[in-house]
Amino acid sequence: MALKVDPVLLIISPIHQLKNINLEFGFDLIILISKDSEDNNIIYNLIQHHEANFVQLAITKYKISDLVVIAKQDKFDPHILKKDLLQMYENNTHPPLALLIPYRQVPVYSYREDGAVCSFIASLSIIDFKFEPNTFRRLDKLCYSIAYSYLNSASSKNIEIIQVGKPMQKDIEINENIAKLAKSLIVIPQKGSLNLLNRCLTHLNRIKYIPAFINLCFDDQGFKRFKKDAYCNLLSLLNIYKNTPTNVGPYLSRHYSIINTENEYIFFQDADDVSLESRFLKQINELTSRNLDMIGSHELRIDQIKKKILIFRFPLDANKSLDANQFHPLFHPTALITKKAYMLSGGFSTDRRFGYDSQFLLRAHFKMKIGNIDDFLYIRFKRPNSLTTHPKTKIEGNLRSFLIWRWNVDFRLVNENKLDLKDSSLAIQKHRFKYNFIKI
């Protein structure tokens, strides 16, 4: 008979006892996992004493390895959740931090925000603060604090994002996709903080299956202080370039990286974001198996302004979304594109420093099959003073808003055969200054 645990905030359990716990609860649930062999026959419910700092006391008393937080609001199916937890622990496959997200069907047309991440599994070894009585009152803030701190630490080995309840998928054929990654390039435009670039490259440095080439493209003088030797697994992959002149934005370096490469597949990556361990294998497999020209993924947004981790899902068929006049069906930095399709589209416009990923997507609709994979493979850090949040270039700014309005109007006209693409605002706008893309 399964042991019924009161719907309270704390359980201490040795791993094998998870199967005896009924997870049909009505409150937020905190499980402390003990690997101590001496505790093999005990499950504790310690929240009887509300006046005590129960979590910190329990950690002091017992040999706790992991903290598991299950938020009531996520409404996980208790049987599926238990199965997923047991599988991870029995196979010893979970990383130091795994975020638990309830599975939802992908949106059909527009992207959709699906709330904040509140549930997670974290090794105590990555938690660098003491638990206070009010620590668990805002689980979204707790999750953000742990994830942000870990992903910015030197010891970070990336995280896993688990969609609890997602239907099983076929295993990826490894060797076939490794061969495709050997013909692939990551393009990373860089300007500003080398610490944020270090976060990006540190995580790439620890990914097992990665494209064979990386172009790191500086738009400032940061290349003079960049320490390539810090990334031992990337040394043979990294090619360092600089824009001349500098401060021209990301589109020139992306464009020249692509037109000059012999590689067939191009992954985009922002220098202040993090790709997950499985990104490259999964995306290149999905792109080729679905016969797409460009593919993105869902976005996990670590919002440094709101202090939350937000969930954004994107439609599987981006062309269908655009045909329905839904103009944000793909988050550009998550994209993988074939060189052939990029060249056919004419590439990026290059006379502005911002906004042209949106224009490119609208123009690409007329030349490409575009989609998304139903996976979270990319972590975006939304931070103050980036291109999308700086007062002069932010998404809500007057100039960017006008450009997007103009592009959307012309997209409809082109799509209805009322305007030629070449005569519209979606036509390629080339820079009118002397530019060199210099390898360092």
Packing angle, helices 356-364 and 398-415, rounded to 10: 10
Burial label for 60, CB within 10 Å (0-12, 13-18, 19+), is exposed
Mark out the alpha helices in 132-208 (DSSP H runs). 139-151, 174-181, 194-204
Same domain, 62 and 203: no
Domain boundary among 122, 146, 164: 164
pLDDT in the model for residue 52: 45
pLDDT in tens, 59-100: 877 778 889 999 999 999 988 998 888 888 877 777 899 999
Q: Residue 50 above 70 pLDDT?
A: no
Residue 2 lies in a domain: no
Residue 440 lies in a domain: no
Residue 282 lies in a domain: yes
CB 237 within 8 A of CB 210: yes
| Average pLDDT over every residue of 37-57 | 54
Averaged pLDDT of the chain: 89
Same domain, 160 and 125: yes
pLDDT in the model for residue 108: 95
Same domain, 131 and 53: yes
pLDDT in the model for residue 5: 38
Same domain, 148 and 221: no
CATH of the domain at 180: 3.90.550.10
Residue 434 lies in a domain: no
Residue 201: name the closest of 282, 300, 269, 284 by CA. 269
| Average pLDDT over every residue of 186-204 | 97
Same domain, 133 and 196: no
pLDDT in the model for residue 60: 79
pLDDT in the model for residue 89: 81
- The DSSP-derived string for 310-372 is EEEE--SBHHHHHHTT----S-GGG-EEEHHHHHHHT----SSSSSHHHHHHHHHTTT--EEE
Residue 5 lies in a domain: no
What does DSSP assign to residue 12?
E
pLDDT in the model for residue 339: 98
Same domain, 186 and 107: no
* Contact partners, residue 60, CB within 8 Å, separation at least 6: none
Assign 7 a pLDDT band (cuts: 50, 70, 90): very low
Q: Find where tokens 């200054």 sit.
A: 433
Phi, psi angles (nearest 5°) of residue 300:
-100, 115
Assign 437 a pLDDT band (cuts: 50, 70, 90): very high
pLDDT in the model for residue 291: 98
Q: Residue 6 above 60 pLDDT?
A: no
| Average pLDDT over every residue of 226-235 | 97
Same domain, 231 and 292: yes
Assign 279 a pLDDT band (cuts: 50, 70, 90): very high
Provide, rounded to the nearest whole percent, the portion of the chain with pLDDT above 70: 88
pLDDT in the model for residue 395: 61
Residue 255 lies in a domain: yes
Same domain, 201 and 280: yes
Residue 31 lies in a domain: yes
> Looking at 49-58, 90-99, 231-240, 269-278, which range is the least confident one?
49-58
Residue 431 lies in a domain: no
- The DSSP-derived string for 194-258 is HHHHHHHHHHHTT-SS--SEEEEEESSGGGGT--GGG-GGGTTTEEEEEEESS---SHHHHHHHH
In angstroms, rounded to a whole number, what is the distance separating the alpha carbons of residues 296 and 290?
A: 13
pLDDT in the model for residue 2: 43
Provide, rounded to the nearest whole percent, the portion of the chain with pLDDT above 90: 72
3-state secondary structure of 14: strand
Q: pTM of the full predicted structure?
A: 0.92
Phi, psi angles (nearest 5°) of residue 301:
-105, 115
pLDDT in tens, 164-176: 999 988 889 999 9
Same domain, 46 and 185: no
| Average pLDDT over every residue of 180-198 | 97
Backbone CA torsion sign across 301, 291, 203, 249:
negative
Domain boundary among 164, 187, 222: 164
| Average pLDDT over every residue of 218-225 | 97
Q: Residue 305 above 60 pLDDT?
A: yes
Amino acid code (one letter) for 127: I
Same domain, 227 and 138: no
Range of the domain at 84: 10-164
Same domain, 184 and 149: no
Residue with more model confidence, 19 or 217: 217
Assign 160 a pLDDT band (cuts: 50, 70, 90): very high
Domain boundary among 108, 137, 164: 164
| CA dihedral of 431, 211, 297, 68, whole degrees rounded to 10 | -130
Residue 255: name the closest of 134, 327, 351 by CA. 351
Domains: count for the chain? 2
Assign 47 a pLDDT band (cuts: 50, 70, 90): very low
Q: Residue 355 above 80 pLDDT?
A: yes
CB count within 10 Å of CB 41 equals: 8
3-state secondary structure of 177: helix
> Looking at 16-20, 142-146, 155-159, which range is the least confident one?
16-20
Same domain, 257 and 337: yes
Assign 24 a pLDDT band (cuts: 50, 70, 90): confident
> Looking at 79-93, 220-234, 262-276, 405-419, which range is the least confident one?
79-93
